[in-house]
Structure 1
Amino acid sequence: MSSHREKPARLPFVVPLLALGTFVMVTSEFIIAALLPEVSADLGVSVATAGLLITAFAVGMIVGAPTISIATLRLPRRSTLVLALAVFAVGHVIAALSSSFPIVLAARVIIALATGTFIAVGSVVATSAAGPAAASRAMGVMMSGMSLAIVAGVPLGSWVGQAIGWRGTFWALAALAGVAAMIIGRFIPAAERAEVTPSVRSQLAVLRHGRMWLVLAATALVTGGFMAAYSYISPLLTERTGISEGAVPLVLVGFGIGALLGTNITGRLGDRKPLATFITTSVASVLVLLLLIPLSTSPVATVVLVVLLGVTGLGITSIATPLAVRFGHSSPALAAALTVSAFNLGIALVSWLAGTTLDTSLGVTGPEVVGVVMAGLGLIPLLVLAAMRATRTAVPQVSLPAADEGTSLAHRVAA
């Protein structure tokens, strides 16, 4: 019996390989915030204008992930992953060679399209390779690349940018993407492709799955909740907590370490009780955000809560994608792409809304208040899902239409 239990713990080698690609791509997504002063000075635009590079990336992820997912239906998944990394590298090369801000802005959109494609298709490859019993854990390992990007990639990229300029960071990211493309192209089996070529119409049928939309709504709201606090954590730490500017990066490293723990721990729990784990993680996020408001005057309490925010906030990345994929089982790639869009929609919403609160009476705690509200609202679709599951469990003999085949698996996943 023990040997039977040990077997699921061994994930396919493809999963950590996908974590490598995720690390490179998420580093690019987050590093631009640290490089904005250098970019604005070099390209002759204001810092506020340079900030459009962040907005453009988010928009590219929101719109591009599902669009490119449909456009690459006929490509083998391995080819799609390699192509995404190649386009990602080319986008950085274009930006590094250009002295025109509009061209750099367009390059960031191209990079975002490649990133969304890689994460969406990679999610399907990772969960398919791991199997239903280990799907959330596989996503936790893949999304460890995101956590490592926050812990190591962004600080290193920032250091490179300060040492040799932002273009040097972009060249380094292009080179890393090229290496990742060669490794993934070499080691991901050619069999990791769609067994049949689906039609666009069959893919769009996923939009009829109501439970998947509830997962997407919860994902956007809960993600927006913790990102509201994370996006504006620096002014909270320096102006209210009293932490020096030089110590802020160390606190953010703590957030990344918490995220690394959260994606893996939540992934393991999510394989057995994904919906219950999603709800628990979301409630924990609300509590952490709520505690940050009164306790952010204490340096020790604040640092602990920031680490816990990484654990609870990034933890949902291990649960949301497998759950959406299984509820939208007729089109796993599009369901995963829509999850990517939901994450970025939440980020885009709070980047504006939370920022407006800084000039109100709430001050630097305003983003935390926004975070509590958004994450709290994210519990509503999750509780609706739980109620739907309870109703279906109470009436187990209901006949279901053929188009909803695989529902028993979704029920088991949502248990």
Structure 2
Amino acid sequence: MRLALLAMAIGAFGIGTTEFVIMGLLPEVSADLGVSVAAAGNLIAGYAIGVVVGAPLLTVLSTRLPRRTALLLFMGLFAVGNLLTAVAPQFESVLGFRVLTGLPHGAYFGAAAVVAAQLAEPGRRARNVARVFLGLTVANIVGVPVGTWLGQELGWRATFGVVAAIGAVAVAGIALFVPKLPKPAGVRLRHELSELAGRQVVLGLLTIVLGCSGVFAVYTYIAPTMKELAGYSEAGVTGILALFGVGMTLGSLLGGRMADRALRPSVYASLALLALVLLLFSFAAHNPWTAAVGVVALGVATFAACTVIQVFLMTKAERAPSLTSASNQAAFNMANALGAWIGAGVIGAGLGYAAPALAGAAMAFVGLALALAAGYLDRPRPPRASAPQAPAREAELVSAGTDPTH
């Protein structure tokens, strides 16, 4: 089982690297392709579009496939997309291949989360899912800094070539170590679609979009924030990003343990923690030491919440495990886009680089309010009191002159 989880985590590592490394390579990409840095930034949006479109689409198309086969197809498409990105000659083709690379992102995590849960011993589902997602968090500690350095030294194309090789390694590992698992009984496409439309699932996805958008209001502009407010150099900002990855790793482990112990209360607690950390970060960002601690805390709170809500959605939509899990990834990328827009808005309004954290805290509180509302709607309803029949019947018999005891 451990090797199967490791193989899927390697795939997650590759996905996390390709998603975030582009942010550090925009100057190299723009210079090589002859476009502005702002235009090169569309490669980030292109990948996000691929995730949002591909998560439900590929999951639906692969409903009848065995889980291992689906994982192999998704990771194979990911590896090919990165390889084509590395050799694409023009900006337009690079953008198109970035969209292609993003397509299997959500579907892969959806299928991997389901497989990890199926392989788990009783009471360890959330921890198994968290271990797969560790690949994504470790990518922010190792993959993104190393990939950025490699791209700066050998050219950005070398980075995506290496990511394609990582995808190929994940394909081999999945083929060798992930067992053939039976499809969960009763899971059908119509069930998946109907479960996805369930009130608790919809509210959970909205909680991610709104609650987690606060994180990206800050993280999108973490580099200028650390330079302007905390006084870090460019080299120092690289270290700060690695600290965020450390926090993400710790948060993923913490969220898995929280969810296994008490799922619904953990949703509330993780979102409340996220809101509090964002609020405090607006003050901590003005000092280099407290800013570093705040970045770690932000990573912990973010991925604790993400892991808990992921498991919650899988629990609330047991007949739609893959589609719901993939939709979670799409919602997370929508949160990314919304958070970046919110952060740009408050900074553009002249409120300074501490303002995105305050706006982010407000969005996290909105997510918490949604989660509380979902919990209220999901509470057990007491059975309706029925009219007492026996006394009425007894009175009827007495009035008729009959003894009800005989």
Structure 2 residue aligned with 1:285: 274
Give matches, 1:155-166, under 5 Å: 155-166=145-156
The aligned counterpart of 2:359 is: 370
Alignment of 1:143-222 (within 5 A): 143-190=133-180, 192-195=181-184, 199-222=188-211
- Of all paired residues, the percent bearing the same amino acid is 35
> Residue 38 of structure 1: CA displacement?
0.8
Shift of 1:371: 0.8
Contact 2:215 2:302 (C-alpha < 8 Å) held by counterparts? yes
Shift of 1:207: 2.9
The equivalent of 2:293 in structure 1 is 304
How far off its partner does 1:112 sit?
Answer: 0.5
Instruction: Report the 3-state secondary structure (helix = DSSP H, G, I; strand = E; otherwise coil) of the residue aligned with 1:361.
Output: coil
Q: Give 1:121's aligned amino acid.
A: A
Correspondence 1:351 to 2:340? yes
The offset of 1:195, in angstroms, is: 4.8
Counterpart of 2:96 in structure 1 is 106
Note the 1:50-129 alignment, pairs <5 A: 50-129=40-119
Tell me if structure 1 keeps the 8 A contact 2:188–2:319. Answer: no
Q: Secondary structure at the match of 1:297?
A: coil
Aligned-residue offset at 1:176: 1.0
Cα 1:388–1:154 change in 2 (3 A) is same
Kindly indicate whether the alpha-carbon contact (under 8 Å) linking 1:12 and 1:129 is maintained by their aligned counterparts in 2.
no
Corresponding residue SS for 2:212: helix
Does the CA contact (< 8 Å) of 1:224 and 1:375 recur in 2?
yes
* Contact 1:35-1:166 at 8 Å conserved across structures: yes
Distance 1:365 1:251, change over 3 A: same
Deviations 1:240-293 (A, max 9, x none): 122222211111211111111110012112111122112111111111111122
Residues 72-96 of structure 1 show CA distances to partners (whole Å, capped at 9, x for unaligned) of: 1121111111111111111111111
CA distance in 1, matches of 2:250, 2:309: 17
The yes-or-no answer on 1:255 pairing with 2:244 is yes
The superposition leaves residues 223-244 of structure 1 with CA deviations (integer Å, 9 ceiling, x where unpaired) of: 2111211111111111112222
Distance 1:297 1:365 in 2: 8
Structure index of larger Rg: 2
Which amino acid is the alignment partner of residue 64 of structure 2?
A: R
How far the C-alpha of 1:317 sits from its partner, in A, is 2.5
CA contact (8 A) 1:222 1:313 kept: no
Among candidates 18, 30, 47, match of residue 8 of structure 2: 18
Matched with 2:19 is 29
| Native 8 Å contact 1:137 1:318 kept in 2 | no
CA distance, structure 2, for counterparts of residue 63 and residue 254 of structure 1: 31
1:39 is matched with which residue? 29
**TM-score normalised by the chain length of structure 2:** 0.91
Are the aligned partners of 2:82 and 2:163 in contact in 1 as well (CA < 8 Å)?
A: yes
What is the rounded CA distance, in whole Å, between the counterparts of 1:368 and 1:159 in structure 2? 29
The equivalent of 2:382 in structure 1 is 395
User: What TM-score does the superposition give when structure 1 sets the normalisation length?
Assistant: 0.89
1:355 maps to amino acid: A
Assess, with a 3 A threshold, how the Cα gap between structure 1 residues 318 and 16 changes in structure 2: closer, same or farther.
farther
CA–CA distance in structure 2, aligned partners of residues 250 and 272 of structure 1: 34
Judge conservation of contact 1:161–1:167 (CA < 8 Å) in 2: yes
1:62 alignment partner AA: V
Letter of the structure 1 residue corresponding to residue 21 of structure 2: I
CA contact (8 A) 2:51 2:103 kept: yes
Count the aligned residue pairs: 385
The Cα of 1:55 is off from its aligned counterpart by 0.4
User: Contact 2:60 / 2:189 at 8 angstroms: preserved in 1?
Assistant: yes
Report the CA distance between 1:126 and its aligned residue: 0.9
Whole-Å separation in 2 of the counterparts to 1:193 and 1:351: 41
* Larger deviation, residues 160-169 vs 354-363: 354-363
Deviation, 1:199, is 4.3
In structure 2, what is the equivalent of residue 409 of structure 1? none
Deviations 1:171-212 (A, max 9, x none): 10111111110111111002x242568543232111331111
- Which of 314, 320, 328 is the aligned partner of 1:331? 320
Alpha-carbon distance between aligned partners in 2 of 1:101 and 1:229, rounded to the nearest angstrom: 28
Say if 2:230 is the partner of 1:241: yes
Name stretches of at least 5 consecutive residues in structure 2 with no aligned partner.
386-406
* Greater Cα offset, 192-201 or 134-143: 192-201
Moved over 4 A (4+): 195-199
Alignment match of 2:216 (pick from 227, 239, 243)? 227
Report if aligned partners of 2:258, 2:308 keep a CA contact under 8 Å in 1: no
Counterpart of 1:166 in structure 2: which amino acid? W
Which residue, out of 258, 271, 286, partners 1:269?
258
Deviations 1:97-147 (A, max 9, x none): 111111111111111112222111111111122156222211211111111
Write out per-residue CA displacement over residues 378-409 of structure 1, whole angstroms, 9 at most, x where no aligned residue. Answer: 001211133234x31x63899xxxxxxxxxxx
**Post-superposition shift, 1:14?**
2.4
1:135–1:33 CA distance, 2 compared to 1 (3 A): same
